[in-house]
Amino acid sequence: MTGLRARVLVVSTGVAAGTREDRGGPALFDLLAGEGYDVDQPVVVADGLEPVTAALRTLTAGFAGLVATTGGTGFSPSDVTPEATLALLDRQAPGLAEAMRGVDPRGRLSRGVCGTVGRALVVNCPGSPGGAVDQLRAVLDVLPHALRLLAEAPTAH
């Protein structure tokens, strides 16, 4: 065990309503668990600024670790995960988001953002399971170092 902790937030109105199968959350869970993270079961919320912001606030409160979101990063009018994330970030981590978008041509369509909330690092991944895994995998090598730095940093949260 690496001592690294992670939480997964699935942003999907269909999954929250039970009309669509959640594949992105389990895919991120499996990837992180396979990398030695202690991962909580995915939390599911509907699309929308209020539900996503509230869920992120809850998931990051007093938490030192990674919060990976899946869904809501595209161009659909209901895709507002980046805006909800930006409302809470203390500091952005644009290099992570840029590296994630660079994994394949469709990744350039992601509007996902990354940054810190207290001692948590939030990364927005796309909703497709393959895209979510590919984008998170693109930054996995640097996440342990970032999380160790955050765990040591004084914070106002």
- Residues 68-78: pLDDT tens digits? 999 999 999 99
DSSP 105: G
State how far the Cα of 76 lies from the Cα of 14, in Å rounded to an integer.
14
pTM: 0.94
Task: Report domain extents, the chain.
Answer: 5-151
Give me the CATH topology for the region 5-151.
Molybdenum Cofactor Biosythetic Enzyme; Chain A (3.40.980)
For residue 27, give both structure tokens. 């895919």
- Residues 110-144: pLDDT tens digits? 999 999 999 999 999 999 999 999 999 999 999 99
- Residues 59-69: pLDDT tens digits? 999 999 999 99
